[in-house]
Amino acid sequence: MIIIVPYKAPQSVQGIQNIFTHLNCLGLGVENEQYLSTKELTSEEKANRRLDFLGGFEIMDKEFRIFVIEGIGGQGNAMDTFYKTNERERPNDKKFKLLYNPLVKFKDRKYLDFDGTIKKIKLQGSLSSIISNPEVFLRHKVPEDMFEILTKLAELRQLERLHLVRDFNLFPDTANLLTLERKYGDLLNYEDLLGVRQKRKRKIKVAAITDNAETKS
């Protein structure tokens, strides 16, 4: 499944992340988000094709967020519940785009290396500005694999049907995502992680009171 929303879409971002976390806590048998964020899948869990949890990643820049989510399909499974919770209420538009088709299936998971959390990558600058930079077409500046993932993400953002994303092989591999993070990634802040700005703490000024009264002993 692919969900694309503006960067500043707190309600959508929190809704996506909350149900993702809830379903994975249930599926992986952990108590809360804190334990989920530190859990590493064992080799047995990775090999268990019936283990019902979600995986995936999020690419973001100052303009948009792209969520790519994978999981076991079928009624009652985590992927089905996730879809029904985030099901769009209107046709795809710039504020919310969801690409999902239960008939479009894949043999294996692609993002097991990210365990049970959403791998978040924030780009330095916007994807459109990176793609439009002439240096991206120079192989001594930008390697072939990096050029490939940048163009894949740009095309993925434009398409309207999930089967086209599959047929054109636009889902990036984990290795290329990590390379993208190293070359173009930026540090994540509070809003990147949670979708909302961190509230500023009010500073309380305490006036110093000087007691001039004489102390008698």
pLDDT in tens, 164-196: 999 999 999 999 999 999 999 999 999 999 999
Among residues 69, 87, 67, 88, which one has the least CA distance to residue 79? 69
Q: How far is CA 23 from CA 77, 96, 109, 113, in A?
A: 9, 22, 17, 18
List 123's β-bridge partners, or say none: 185
SS3 (DSSP) at 160: coil
What is the rounded distance in angstroms from the CA atom of residue 174 to the CA atom of residue 208? 57
CB 54 within 8 A of CB 73: no
Number of other residues whose CB lies within 10 A of the CB of residue 152: 18
User: 46-52 — which CB contacts under 8 Å span 24+ positions?
Assistant: 46/112, 51/27, 52/27, 52/77, 52/78
| 112 pLDDT more than 60 | yes
Name the least confident of 18-32, 107-121, 193-207.
Answer: 193-207
**Is pLDDT at 54 greater than 50 in this prediction?**
yes
pLDDT bin (cut points 50, 70, 90) of residue 205 is: low
Extents of the domains making up the chain: 2-194
Cβ(24)–Cβ(56) below 8 Å: no
